[in-house]
Chains A and B, each alone.
Chain A
Amino acid sequence: MGNTDQSTEQEDFQPKGAIAFFLILIVMYTVMWFSLYFELLGRG
């Protein structure tokens, strides 16, 4: 019974929020990195 509960619990959980968080993190990192990159380019 315990094992069935555990496997159901594992199958049911989809970390959609964590995936969204991770994508936002990567986009934010990209924006921040390029903002510094353009700062560098702006210095000629």
Chain B
Amino acid sequence: MNLETFQFSKSAKKLNSLLIIIPMVLLFIGVYGGLMQTLFRAGIIQSDPFMGGDYYKGLTIHGVLNAIVFTTFFAVALGNALIPYSLKMNLNTKAAWASGILMLVGSVMAGVVMLMGEATVLYTFYPPLKAHPLFYVGLTLLVVGSWVAFFNWIPMYLKWRRENPGEKTPLTVVGMFTTFIVWLIATASVAVEILFMLLPWSLGLIDEVNVMLARTLFWFFGHPLVYFWLLPAYVMYYSFMPKLADGKLYSDMAGRLVFMMFVVFSVPVGTHHQYMDPAIGSQWKLIHGIFTFAVALPSLITAFTLAASLEYAGRQRGGKGLFGWITKLPYFDKEKWFFSYLISGLIIFIFGGISGIVNASYQMNTAVHNTAWVPGHFHLTVAGPVLLAFLGGSMYLIHQFMGKPVKMKGWTLSVPYIYTIGVSIFSWGLMRGGLLGMPRRTNTGASYANPESVLYQPDWMPYIDITVIGGIIMFLAIVIFVVAFFATVFARSEVTAEEPKVTFPITAPLHNEPSLWLRNFKPFIIIAIILIVLSYTPVIYDVLQSTYDGSLPYSPNSPVPLR
């Protein structure tokens, strides 16, 4: 492959390496917590043998470290890598380091109080569950750090536009900016929730908190968070995957359209997580449900565009017939190990997508709401395509920024396939159990999976056992990855006469449409804001008009308020 290169400063390389290595350690702690969840739920363990503490502490650590900390670090690292690379401009390393330090301090702060058992509030941190104030401060610093990273890229982009009038912004930059525009809009609401509600409540400055308002503000953030996870994966799908398969991107315009659709539709959808909540009119929930279907469209466009790009690649590699190209893709080529992470994630996402559409279908949601179906679904999205793309991306970034050869390539290549088998078994068990009524979040091991309990549900047991098998396979895949990752980190550097340059497998388009109407973010951001105002004003109004008392703080282990 003939690839363009760019020379990053040593400081930028060091920062980006740390932004990958530190969250990898945290990810592993979170993944360990995930394995413990399956054992807790099956009744195999009653307390964590290594970290100590109960089921809910582990569940919180698993969710926060894996779904919020790891993903945010990776998205920032990918932006710090792709934006300078694509624009051929150096990063302002002082601002980038400030962002990294804020994120690190915040994550450590939140991590420590979670490990101490002082923030057992799950990753949604819904009140009335109350965490230690440092948990909320830590999350705030993590988010502010990611904002600083984004604000650091904006002057680079504006300078590039001034210097390159009339040129199309590289698709990688469009994708990363889309990711952080969605993130910036979404995190504004959770900043309000934390700074004006949860933090003062946790500090004891106010006695009660409006639970419904907090939940609504959380889901204003919580569903776009899904796209904050998915979009960096989409950047890698569109920009890297066809090139890794020796192909081209079927349509550059399709990629740009998809990203702009995410800007427009990512946010006015959050109330579909609150279909069963009181206080919000069903007509407003329905509108959010319709927008959720709209936001499925860019994913369907992506499915076709990537299939066409891979078909082109497969035919270039000798594929014949309607589906012969599928067999010609480099699934087991050790030198293209990154491809296996992206393609496995896409296969998993086929099932993550349809299960998400079921969740968003208003009436059908009643069949799956708060059941194990839901974690079954989101392990096919955030813990499927997102995790695998981010793992592959982490390995690629560390290989580039540290100038180290990828070690254990055969094992590295095998990880996504082993993981795909594991997550398929795991999610099927959860979803099937969920359809029988098996709840999410609840420690079934202490009740429904305990033969001595009056709540014992023997018909759920096969599915609970299946999740244990799937969870163990997923865990083994991650162990293999982490070993290969740190073998790469500690490998000897590749000897070169000069400082090694960084390169990415950027795909050329097959159809490079002018796409003049897709070249400016501004109109799409304006449409997004209009939709947000129209969809959320009545929801917030309903919540504020409802008559119910505020709530005192609780922990998950006691029905008695904490004060």
Contact = CB atoms under 8 A, between A and B. Distances in A.
A19 B323 CA distance: 11
A6 B1 CA distance: 18
Given A25-B303, A29-B354, A17 B363 contact: no
A10 interface: yes
A25 B304 CA distance: 10
Interface residues of A, number: 21
A1 interface: no
A39 interface: yes
B358 to A, nearest CB: 5
A17 B250 CA distance: 13
Contacts of A36: 358, 364, 367-368
Secondary structure at the B interface, as helix, strand, loop or mixed, is: helix
A15 interface: yes
B312 interface: yes
Contacts of B358: 32-33, 36
A39 B250 contact: no
Contacts of A33: 354, 357-358, 361
B322 interface: yes
B87 to A, nearest CB: 25
A8 to B, nearest CB: 12
A37 B364 CA distance: 6
Interface in A1-41: 9-10, 13, 15-22, 25, 28-29, 32-33, 36-37, 39-40
A4 to B, nearest CB: 15
B558 to A, nearest CB: 34
A21 B367 contact: no
Nearest to A37: B364
A15 B311 contact: yes
A40 B366 contact: yes
B304 A18 contact: yes
B307 A39 contact: no
B350 interface: yes
B18 interface: no
A3 to B, nearest CB: 12
B366 A22 contact: no
A33 B350 CA distance: 13
A32 B325 contact: no
Contacts of A37: 361, 364
A37 B30 CA distance: 35
B28 to A, nearest CB: 34
B326 interface: yes
Contacts of B314: 17
A15 B361 contact: no
Contact of A17 (B322, B361, B367): B322
Nearest to B361: A33
Contacts of A9: 510
Contacts of B519: none
Contacts of A13: 312, 315, 510
Contacts of A15: 250, 307-308, 311-312
B494 to A, nearest CB: 33
Contacts of A32: 354, 358
A39 B441 CA distance: 23
A28 B353 CA distance: 12
Contacts of A10: 510-511
Nearest to A24: B323
Interface in B288-314: 300, 303-304, 307-308, 310-312, 314
A17 B364 contact: no
Contacts of B300: 22
B397 to A, nearest CB: 30
Contacts of A17: 307, 311, 314, 321-326
Contacts of A21: 307, 323
Contact of B363 (A16, A20, A29, A40): A40
Contacts of B315: 13
A16 B322 contact: yes
Interface of A: 9-10, 13, 15-22, 25, 28-29, 32-33, 36-37, 39-40, 43
Closest 5 CB pairs of A and B: A15-B308, A18-B307, A18-B308, A17-B311, A40-B367
Interface of B: 250, 300, 303-304, 307-308, 310-312, 314-315, 321-326, 350, 353-354, 357-358, 361, 363-364, 366-368, 435, 510-511
24 contacts: A10-B510, A13-B510, A15-B307, A15-B311, A17-B311, A17-B321, A17-B322, A17-B323, A18-B250, A18-B308, A18-B311, A20-B322, A21-B323, A28-B350, A29-B353, A29-B354, A29-B357, A32-B354, A33-B357, A36-B364, A36-B368, A39-B435, A40-B364, A43-B367
